[in-house]
Chains A and B, each alone.
Chain A
Amino acid sequence: DGGITQSPKYLFRKEGQNVTLSCEQNLNHDAMYWYRQDPGQGLRLIYYSQIVNDFQKGDIAEGYSVSREKKESFPLTVTSAQKNPTAFYLCASSGWREAFFGQGTRLTVV
Chain B
Amino acid sequence: QKEVEQNSGPLSVPEGAIASLNCTYSDRGSQSFFWYRQYSGKSPELIMSIYSNGDKEDGRFTAQLNKASQYVSLLIRDSQPSDSATYLCAVKSYNQGGKLIFGQGTELSVKP
Chain A contacts to B: CB under 8 angstroms:
1-2, 30-31, 33, 35, 41-43, 45, 48, 50, 56, 58, 90, 92, 94, 96-104
Contact = CB atoms under 8 A, between A and B. Distances in A.
Main secondary structure, interface of B, reads strand
B43 A99 contact: no
Contacts of B102: 35, 42-43, 45
Given A42-B104, A43-B88, A94-B92, A99 B99 contact: no
B49 interface: yes
Contacts of A41: 104
B75 interface: no
Contact of B100 (A92, A96, A97): A92
A75 B102 CA distance: 21
Of the listed residues B45, B88, B98, B103, the one surrounded by the most CB atoms of chain A closer than 10 A to its CB is: B98
Given A97-B51, A99-B90, A45 B46 contact: no
Contacts, number: 60
A45 B99 contact: yes
A33 B96 CA distance: 14
29 contacts: A1-B43, A31-B98, A41-B104, A42-B88, A42-B104, A43-B44, A43-B88, A43-B102, A45-B99, A45-B100, A48-B99, A48-B100, A50-B98, A56-B97, A56-B99, A90-B43, A94-B100, A96-B32, A97-B32, A97-B49, A98-B34, A98-B49, A99-B100, A100-B46, A101-B43, A101-B46, A103-B43, A104-B42, A104-B43
Contacts of A94: 92, 98, 100
A40 to B, nearest CB: 9
Given A56-B97, A56-B99, A102-B43, 10 more contacts: A1-B45, A31-B100, A42-B104, A45-B102, A90-B44, A96-B32, A97-B32, A98-B46, A99-B100, A103-B43
Nearest to B6: A42
Nearest to A41: B104
A49 B102 CA distance: 16
